[in-house]
Amino acid sequence: MQELSSRSNPTIQAAKSLQTAKGREAMGAFLLDGEHMVSEALAICPDKIRQLFVTADKAEQFASLLAKAEGSEIFSVPQHVLEAISQVKTPQGIAAVCELPPDRAIEEMGDKLLLLENVQDPGNVGTIMRTLDAAGFDGVIMTRGCADPYSPKVLRATMGSIFRVQITRCEAALSAMEQLHASGYDTVATALGGEPFYERTALAGRICVLIGNEGAGLSSRVISAAKRSYSLPMRGGAESLNAGIAAAVVMYDLMNR
């Protein structure tokens, strides 16, 4: 274990740069904060962990985690140095630098996908990814207008599902839909003017559910291009559902009947 004591050390500065989307793109990596996220990464993709940072007073507590980090650089740092790297107010004593996975080819992502068009709230994006993982969907396609899936708020909301969910990003939903249709996917738009969701005929084969922006929903061109359009019943006074909740209801129902 190497010791680093200065915030100005190049290794520390490089890790700190991962706090921004520009830094993550330049470094091809993202930052993991805390025991849970580091533990999930070491269990699922240990070969992708480049570096681990642990405070000296927590080295014994995290000894079992550090033992799993074969091939990773491990640094002992004082609390103030970890605070400089960390993206949370109260660091738990451990953080890691993880390689960004490459975007996957749409046709290779599996039979059950989501496409998010400009879903901007980090909590929604992270929750959708966590629910996708729980429901048994395979992956998510995100337009560039979505919250960065590797930003700290999204990562926290995924609760580790970020390591089990296949992700690809696209410039526009319509171009992704062209690829989906060419690969045999049935595209299902969620829209207020759609057919009643629970009266649908059975859907089989490859499916991609389309979820739109929190305020504007899916763009009209995307709804028109989708093979199907469904709406969830609004029996009370609310006009619409939160994007994450709507995605959860649709995914679970599609997987179970």
Instruction: For residue 134, give the nearest of 101, 164, 155 by alpha carbon.
Output: 164
Note the CATH number of domain 106-256: 3.40.1280.10
Residues contacting 228, CB < 8 A, separation 6+: 186, 187, 188, 189, 194, 195, 200, 203
Q: Which residue has the tokens 């990464």?
A: 41
Partners of 169 in the β-ladder: 142
Q: Is 91 left (phi over 0), alpha (psi -120 to 50) or beta?
A: beta
Q: Do 196 and 228 touch, CB atoms closer than 8 A?
A: no
Q: Is the pLDDT of residue 257 over 80?
A: no
Residues of CATH 3.40.1280.10 domain(s) within the chain?
106-256
Q: Is the pLDDT of residue 150 over 90?
A: yes
DSSP states of 185-241 as a string?
Answer: -EEEEEEEEEEEGGGPPP--S-EEEEE-BTTTBS-HHHHHHSSEEEE----SS-S--
Instruction: For residue 120, give the nearest of 97, 149, 92 by alpha carbon.
Output: 149
SS3 38: helix
Q: What is the pLDDT of residue 153?
A: 93
Instruction: Give 187-220 pLDDT, tens digit per residue.
Output: 999 998 889 999 998 888 899 999 999 888 899 9
Instruction: Give 38-97 pLDDT, tens digit per residue.
Output: 999 999 999 999 999 999 999 999 999 999 988 899 999 999 999 999 988 888 899 999
* C-alpha 128, offset from chain centre: 8
Distances (CA, A) of 16 to 57, 85, 89: 21, 5, 14
At the fourth CATH level, the homologous superfamily of domain 2-99 is Ribosomal protein L30/S12 (3.30.1330.30)
Q: Do 217 and 180 touch, CB atoms closer than 8 A?
A: no
Q: What average pLDDT score do residues 238-250 get?
A: 89
Alpha helices in 46-104 (DSSP H): 63-67, 79-85
Instruction: Give 4-42 pLDDT, tens digit per residue.
Output: 999 999 999 999 999 999 999 999 999 999 999 999 999
Predicted TM-score of the model (pTM) = 0.90
Q: What average pLDDT score do residues 150-171 get?
A: 94
Quote the CA–CA distance of 161 and 45 in Å, as a whole number: 12
Quote the CA–CA distance of 20 and 34 in Å, as a whole number: 18
SS3 7: coil
Residues of CATH 3.30.1330.30 domain(s) within the chain?
2-99
